[in-house]
Amino acid sequence: QVQLVESGGGLVQAGGSLRLSCAASIRTFRNNVMGWFRQSPGKEREFIAAITWSTGNTLYTDSVKGRFTISRDYAKNTVNLQMNSLKPEDTAVYYCAAGVRMVTTTGYEYWGQGTQVTVSS
pLDDT digits (tens, 9 = 90+) for 74-119: 999 999 999 999 999 999 999 999 999 999 999 999 999 999 999 9
Residue 45, classified by CB atoms within 10 Å of its CB into exposed (0-12), middle (13-18) or buried (19+), is middle
pLDDT tens digit sequence for 57-80: 999 999 999 999 999 999 999 999
Instruction: Look up residue 29 and give its amino acid.
Output: F
The count of residues in the chain is 121
Q: Enumerate residues 6+ apart whose C-beta is below 8 A from 70.
A: 34, 36, 48, 49, 50, 51, 58, 60, 79, 80, 81, 82
